[in-house]
A and B are shown apart, each in its own frame.
Chain A
């Protein structure tokens, strides 16, 4: 009996094999190669390179661009998670009401999700550029001087966050709308009988029952934000200076533009281990809670 159980368990685990072959081949094996490359000054294409010990790691610590990219990645990652979830939930509550043209509005909000972030970035440049930009044209009508929107680095980072949120908030909205549909009306009717106010109904009924949708949305947005790449490439290309780079664009810049594959690999490796460590520890906490309830 126990042996049977053991083989059954083994059989179950064997179902994971294809996935872990993929992860092994395309994630962990490259990761190990990355360790080796991180000790070299390889330029990314030449056949010659030399080992330079820990130089790349030393440089990483003092490089101010890394700090900028780190802060920006956090802003893009956590910022877009918060913004898009709050915004998307508001939309979902708003557009869950019945009104004329509701489906049209939902489709319009969702439409930008279908477009590549890269293309959206290029289009937004038409809106934001200083001379001839659509937004400045509008400002001039109201007698406000033209503004060079993307020149100031905090504003540029904020705009990138705003644009990616404006584009992808439709996704959060749809998932929350779907979540709202799973909540049975009887809960609210019961609450109304109890005389619960609107706000307290939201806090005590809607929010807890939406928690699967919240988890899905937070996960999706965190991934999207931490990996933000194409929009930045199209809108600012990391500039002015290095001020709007995320880790992804910086790694790309170091490898393919700066011809510094060794250093790029070092940065990627440290980032990989850092995010892996955070995710795993956060998950451990979450799993404990899941067990409790």
Chain B
């Protein structure tokens, strides 16, 4: 009984030390962002002054707001499509246990594991032919396709845990498959949908390679791309680049902190059941 508080203190200390380890890169980004380019002092050393020009520079030349808007469009549209198509595809694959459905599932899992860049050469030349480069629909469909397998996988796993008896009962009532899915299954998918949106929303928001190839016009630039251009290798722009990176993280962090509770419960009911 007496030893307990002491023990707890130890866990707190260990926890804080680990937290510092994970926050260390961000701390370095902060010192770099607030230092003048001519200040060659150690990156651990927080400057005695606060130099805001890197932030101003990042906002002025980086078009960060527009990039935010673009990333938001891509993320919302892709996540919506993923939820709709993912859930509807997973249902039959989870319910039917035949060789055909197994094979379809296998193909989907195969696509899931493949590095997306493996077919970038033909995909790129195809998108060109479709005139889909620099269009929102083009990249949204591509992002949806390559993120879809994991969503189907998560949905199928979740639907497996929904008792089949529910389906049977509805069928007896003369429910068709579509209505059954819509009325019986869909309402139960809320937790896994939360997990899908969180996992995939984040992935699409931070995606680098697809916007790099398919959204090349400056008007279409996403936030990751806008920041990467700041880290141009040929010049000493890392102050502005760090500033831009920090600003880009802020809204995501705010959303995360606001949704933190739903997030963990969404995962606990959705991804791990």
Contact = CB atoms under 8 A, between A and B. Distances in A.
Interface in A121-161: 122-124, 126-127, 132-134, 137-138
B152 interface: yes
Contacts of B150: 219-220, 223
Given A16-B89, A126-B43, A27 B119 contact: yes
A19 B89 contact: yes
Given A219-B153, A220-B150, A272-B118, A230 B181 contact: no
Contacts of B256: 110-111, 114
Interface string A204-244: 00000010110110011011001101100110000000000
A31 interface: yes
Contacts of A132: 40, 42-43
Contacts of A94: 11, 14-15
B189 interface: no
Contacts of B110: 275-276, 279-280
Contact of B119 (A34, A107, A124): A34
B249 A115 contact: yes
A105 B17 CA distance: 9
A66 interface: no
> How many interface residues does chain B have, given as a range?
35 or more
Interface SS majority for chain B: helix
A127 B95 CA distance: 50
B141 A22 contact: yes
Interface in A97-128: 97-102, 104-105, 107-120, 122-124, 126-127
Contacts of B9: 99-100
Interface stretch (A57-65, A174-182, A185-193, A195-203): A174-182
A268 interface: yes
A94 to B, nearest CB: 7
A179 B268 CA distance: 6
B22 interface: yes
A83 interface: no
Given A16-B93, A123-B26, A179 B272 contact: yes
